[in-house]
Chain A
Amino acid sequence: MKRYYFSAAGVLFSMSISAAELPDRQAQLPSVAKEANAQYLMPSPLSSIPKGEFGDKVRKGYQLFVNSQQMRDTYVGNELNCVNCHMNAGNKANASPLWGAYMAYPAYRKKNDKVNSFEERIQGCFTYSMNGKAPESGSEPLVAISAYSYWLVMSGLMNQFGITGPVPEMTDVELLKGGNREDFPLPETVTSKLDQKELTMLPGRGFPKLAKPELAYSVERGEAVYQAHCQTCHADDGQGYKMANVSALPPLWGPQSYNWGAGMHRVNTAANFIYENMPLGKSIQLTVQQAWDVAAFVNAHERPQDPRYKGNVAETQAKYHQHEGFYGKPSSINGPELLGANAYPIFPVSKQSKQ
């Protein structure tokens, strides 16, 4: 177990992302292989969120998470909802649960000695995954999502260690920081059993790291996998299905999906996610090879531009895309043109708001 933490910290610290105007707030956190018989945190049911101001923030966070489209055109620029990738309202182990992420922030970077708070990480989700505009620091959505995340992890830890009573309340300022800090208030029963490093790497955090494929991943093979297993829900054009103006089944590429700066555009991240979480409610239906192939197929399509783009795809590619992804490269699906060259707009005005 311990070895993981050191190698994980190594990956984290060796990241060399420039802190230009837009930091890479979806920098790859270390993903770890899934452990057999892992005990996952079991947060309390929503019905036990307390009445009152603090509870209201927690409830608001839940609501924004499962229906993120209520922030369309204010902070959200595509048709996605947080819950599309973070199953069970951010509560499901191995689907990047909020309770795992909350304890991993603030995260430190050696390179620039900069601290990335939980709030900043959520802002990154809006900028990249939601192709939108980051809510201002300390604003209601960030407080609400932080409060909800905190409530999940704290109630889960209290349940795990048999601590009774309500989840201790925290101020907004404290909530926004995240749980990976020495002054984060935790019951002694918890800190006597788990040290801070263990808390940042709770079992089920992130998407479990998938083994490398036997063959190099292939967009062509991925297309066949897509047609056989994914198309029913995500449609033959990858645009999902809209019902009552909501993309109940989310678009995977194109103008309404995550942009070229989002973590999910990386083939490895998408493969990890798909293998573990797709199809919805079934988990692990594809082979390792199929998961990599279909992740490549999905991410070899054009999508909204990387928000760090300054007019030159090659430069953006060189600076921010030294990883498993198709940005700045051709693909058999997209043709000879480099992906990113015809990217869709960042934070576009939706049709609805024009009317």
Chain B
Amino acid sequence: MDTKNRLKDDCLTSVNSAVLSSIFLCSVMSFSVMANIPDESPKELLQTVPAAAQVCLSCHGVNGEGLGVVGPRLAGLSSEYIAAQVSHFQTGFRQNPTMMAMAMTVQGDNIKVVSDFFAAKPVAEIKLQYRGDKVVIDDIGEKLAYQGDWQRDIPACTSCHGPSGIGAGQFPRLAGQEPTYLKNQLLAWQSGTRKGDVDNMMGSIAKKLTAAEIDALTQYFSAQK
């Protein structure tokens, strides 16, 4: 446990310095991650991580499992979605100081390498809920997820994100994602600091959500694990 925490702290420090300084420091950081990980991970595991993906591990975990508030889960996302997000951070469609700096370190063919690597990581199987399984839904998050609110032209989340929000293609998995991350993303869509969706589809939905609904959706989808 101590080693793990130390590793986490080291990485966080490194992340901060990278943000404050330059891309050069990012590569220093990724070096420090490489130097640290063998302490707790079997060598074989590390060898399966492509060099270009090393920079991601400190915040997203060796298996893309996510590290709480430090970084969201990447496992369960499609390769094409991850690749699009890397490019969105590079072009400013998405705003996050750390990720904007980190994304710049992944360029060209490496974007696909990194995306494929995390997309291939397994997620735990969950009990799936399909549309119509419940007719009357009391929880406002679950109700929006399966029925939407068409009085305000809000479609059911699961009509694009799939049963239980497991996602595919350009529609990210919501099931089991970090709650803080989910909430921040809905807020970012709402305020317009996150963009890059075709025809502003997600942005226009998020703008209609109330604060209570964002909390309820966060709660609902993060609990699907």
Q: Tell me whether A246 and B169 are in contact in the complex, defined as CB-CB below 8 angstroms, given that A91-B150, A282-B199 are known contacts.
A: no
Contacting residue for B154 out of A63, A228, A281, CB 8 A: A281
Q: Mark A296-307, 1 if CB is under 8 A from B, else 0.
A: 000000000000
Contacting residue for A88 out of B150, B163, B205, CB 8 A: B150
Q: Mark B166-201, 1 if CB is under 8 A from A, else 0.
A: 111111000000000000000000000000011111
Tell me the interface secondary structure of chain A in the complex: mixed
Separation in Å of the A138 CB from the closest CB of chain B?
Answer: 23
B-chain residues with CB within 8 Å of residue A232 when the two chains form the complex: 169-170, 197-198, 201
B155 touching A281, Cβ below 8 Å: yes
B162 touching A248, Cβ below 8 Å: yes
- The A171-223 residues at the B interface (CB cut-off 8 A) are none
Distance, CA A254 to CA B223, complexed state (A): 37
B-chain residues with CB within 8 Å of residue A285 when the two chains form the complex: 199
Q: Mark B156-167, 1 if CB is under 8 A from A, else 0.
A: 001111111011
Separation in Å of the B189 CB from the closest CB of chain A?
Answer: 13
| Cβ of A279 under 8 Å from chain B | yes
Contacting residue for A229 out of B160, B199, B205, CB 8 A: B199
B-chain residues with CB within 8 Å of residue A228 when the two chains form the complex: 198
A-chain residues with CB within 8 Å of residue B200 when the two chains form the complex: 282
Is the interface on chain B under 10, 10 to 19, 20 to 34, or 35 or more residues? 20 to 34
B148 touching A88, Cβ below 8 Å: yes
Separation in Å of the B215 CB from the closest CB of chain A?
Answer: 21
Distance, CA A64 to CA B155, complexed state (A): 18
B-chain residues with CB within 8 Å of residue A283 when the two chains form the complex: 153
Contacting residue for A66 out of B131, B164, B205, CB 8 A: B131
Which of B131, B161, B167, B205 counts the most A-chain CB atoms under 10 A from its CB?
A: B131
Q: Mark A107-141, 1 if CB is under 8 A from B, else 0.
A: 00000000000000000000000000000000000
B130 touching A280, Cβ below 8 Å: no
- The A82-101 residues at the B interface (CB cut-off 8 A) are 83, 87-89, 91-92
Q: Mark B131-161, 1 if CB is under 8 A from A, else 0.
A: 1110110000000000110100111001111
Q: Mark B116-129, 1 if CB is under 8 A from A, else 0.
A: 00000000000010
A282 touching B163, Cβ below 8 Å: no
| Cβ of B204 under 8 Å from chain A | yes
A-chain residues with CB within 8 Å of residue B133 when the two chains form the complex: 63, 67
Distance, CA A248 to CA B136, complexed state (A): 21
| Cβ of A273 under 8 Å from chain B | no
Q: Tell me whether A279 and B162 are in contact in the complex, defined as CB-CB below 8 angstroms, given that A88-B148, A243-B167, A246-B130 are known contacts.
A: no
Distance, CA A351 to CA B146, complexed state (A): 27
Q: Tell me whether A248 and B160 are in contact in the complex, defined as CB-CB below 8 angstroms, given that A232-B198, A285-B199 are known contacts.
A: yes
B168 touching A242, Cβ below 8 Å: yes
| Cβ of A46 under 8 Å from chain B | yes
Contacting residue for B136 out of A47, A81, A91, A282, CB 8 A: A47
Separation in Å of the A89 CB from the closest CB of chain B?
Answer: 7
Q: Tell me whether A282 and B135 are in contact in the complex, defined as CB-CB below 8 angstroms, given that A232-B169, A248-B162, A249-B160 are known contacts.
A: no
Contacting residue for B204 out of A46, A243, A248, A281, CB 8 A: A281
Contacting residue for A63 out of B132, B167, B168, CB 8 A: B132
Separation in Å of the B209 CB from the closest CB of chain A?
Answer: 12
A-chain residues with CB within 8 Å of residue B150 when the two chains form the complex: 87-88, 91-92
Distance, CA A193 to CA B163, complexed state (A): 43
A244 touching B169, Cβ below 8 Å: no
Separation in Å of the A39 CB from the closest CB of chain B?
Answer: 14
Separation in Å of the A65 CB from the closest CB of chain B?
Answer: 8
Distance, CA A280 to CA B199, complexed state (A): 11
A89 touching B128, Cβ below 8 Å: no
Q: Tell me whether A67 and B201 are in contact in the complex, defined as CB-CB below 8 angstroms, given that A88-B150, A232-B169 are known contacts.
A: no
Distance, CA A98 to CA B148, complexed state (A): 18
A-chain residues with CB within 8 Å of residue B170 when the two chains form the complex: 232
B147 touching A241, Cβ below 8 Å: no
Query: Can you name 18 A-B pairs with beta carbons within 8 Å?
Result: A83-B159, A88-B148, A88-B155, A91-B150, A92-B150, A241-B162, A243-B168, A244-B166, A246-B163, A248-B161, A279-B198, A280-B159, A280-B201, A281-B148, A281-B154, A282-B153, A282-B199, A282-B200
8 shortest A-B CB distances, which residue pairs?
A243-B162, A67-B132, A88-B150, A63-B132, A66-B132, A281-B155, A244-B163, A248-B162
